[in-house]
């Protein structure tokens, strides 16, 4: 004869398990997208920190995501920034200063930002100011990002905006001190015309590949026709749509020997959703990660 107490326990356990599963699934569906992968095929001595060789080679980055609910517009912006923390050495930045005030003290960048902020209006391309956490060599920094690319696009000749150092990131350590400063471009990676080998953008089964004219084969589109400032916009996406973005670089063709912050921003229906970041450093500059 079956013990009724045992049956009751099993029924309660099943009910709890079902409720937990439903909660977990419901929580997952509440998020509009799920990141499937976001990684470099490079050695990683620390989380989100990668070692970049100096010799010739092909090293790729890949981002994959799936829609968990329909969205009107999904925007992915790539940023590539060079470590310029030495510029903070002679600045009198206080831990009590708010990030925007501290940023305005940075030479050149602060003046440009103040000028852009004074004339940028809601009808123009937006000035992006966001906060996120950047991990560098095992240490986390609360980082303030300023992207001036949008407002400057309308005032720069076509093709020149991506060469301007219009993106800035100012980070502070656990004690609140401003110790990290990166600046660079809104693009898939630094030195697009030299360092990037190819870029692939795929929505479900629709794939577009861009490559340098010297290496383009088959149906590849010349790199100079790739999205100008590393900005991808997808409209009217449905649930279960999948997006994959990848690009390959040749580290021997990168002009800087300093560490590089690679940042990805995602906007959904015009609103900031999340960011992802990693730091790449040269093998020869391991101490300066």
pLDDT tens figures, 116-152: 777 655 444 567 888 888 888 778 899 999 988 887 7
Does the pLDDT value for residue 16 go beyond 80? no
Say whether both 8 and 93 belong to one domain: no
Q: How far apart are CA 81 and CA 48, in angstroms?
A: 15
> Does residue 240 come out as left (phi exceeding 0), alpha (psi in the -120 to 50 range) or beta?
left
Q: Which of 216, 238, 236 is nearest to 225 (CA)?
A: 216
User: Do both 22 and 66 map to the same domain?
Assistant: no
Instruction: Name the nearest CA neighbour of 180 among 279, 66, 35, 67.
Output: 279
14 and 138 inside one domain: no
CA dihedral sign, ordered 41, 44, 50, 56: negative
256 in the same domain as 187? yes
Q: Mean pLDDT across the stretch 164-176?
A: 90
At residue 249, the pLDDT reads 96
Looking at the predicted structure, is the pLDDT value of residue 24 above 60?
no
Q: Are residues 25 and 146 in the same domain?
A: no
Give whole-number Cα distances, 247 to 42, 55, 166, 219, 244, in Å. Answer: 13, 18, 22, 16, 10
pLDDT band at 280 (very low <50, low <70, confident <90, very high): very high
User: Are 12 and 63 contained in the same domain?
Assistant: no
For residues 284 and 141, membership in a common domain is answered with yes
Residue 31, pLDDT above cutoff 80: yes
Shared-domain flag, residues 119 and 12: no
Q: Is the pLDDT of residue 64 over 60?
A: yes
Residues 52 and 186 in one domain: yes
Q: Are residues 40 and 3 in the same domain?
A: no
Q: Do 10 and 142 fall into the same domain? A: no
pLDDT for the residue numbered 167: 92
Q: Is 144 helix (H, G, I), strand (E, B) or coil?
A: strand
Instruction: Give how many domains the chain has, as a whole number.
Output: 2
Residue 213: per-residue pLDDT = 72
Q: How confident is the model at residue 161 (pLDDT cuts 50, 70, 90)?
A: low
pLDDT of 10 reads 41
> Using CA atoms, how far apart are residues 38 and 245, in angstroms rounded to an integer?
10
Q: Which domain holds residue 220?
A: 31-288
pLDDT band at residue 56 under the 50/70/90 scheme: very high
Specify whether 58 is located in the same domain as 16.
Answer: no
User: Coil, helix or strand for 84?
Assistant: coil
| pTM for the structure as a whole | 0.83
């Amino acid at each position: 004869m079956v013990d009724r107490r045992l049956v009751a326990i099993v029924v309660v356990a099943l009910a709890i398990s079902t409720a937990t599963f439903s909660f977990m699934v419901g929580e997952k569906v509440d998020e509009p997208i799920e990141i499937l992968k976001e990684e470099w095929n490079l050695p990683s001595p620390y989380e989100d920190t990668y070692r970049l060789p100096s010799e010739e080679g092909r090293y790729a980055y890949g981002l994959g995501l799936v829609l968990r609910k329909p969205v009107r517009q999904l925007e992915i912006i790539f940023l590539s920034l060079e470590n310029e923390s030495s510029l903070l050495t002679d600045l009198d930045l206080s831990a009590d200063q708010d990030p925007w005030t501290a940023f305005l003290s940075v030479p050149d960048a602060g003046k440009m930002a103040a000028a852009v902020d004074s004339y940028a209006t809601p009808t123009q391309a937006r000035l992006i100011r966001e906060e996120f956490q950047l991990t560098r060599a095992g240490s986390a920094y609360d980082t303030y990002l300023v992207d001036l690319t949008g407002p400057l696009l309308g005032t720069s000749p076509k093709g020149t905006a991506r060469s301007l150092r219009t993106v800035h990131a100012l980070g502070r350590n656990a004690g609140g001190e401003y110790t990290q400063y990166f600046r660079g471009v809104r693009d898939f990676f630094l030195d697009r015309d030299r360092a990037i080998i190819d870029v692939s953008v795929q929505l479900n089964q629709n794939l577009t590949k861009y490559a340098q004219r010297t290496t383009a084969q088959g149906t590849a589109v010349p790199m100079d026709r790739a999205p100008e400032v590393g900005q991808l916009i997808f409209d009217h996406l449905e649930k279960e749509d999948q997006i994959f973005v990848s690009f390959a670089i040749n580290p021997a063709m990168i002009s800087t020997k300093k560490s590089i912050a690679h940042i990805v921003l995602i906007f959904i229906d015009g609103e900031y959703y999340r960011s992802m970041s990693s730091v790449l450093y040269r093998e020869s500059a391991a101490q300066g990660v």
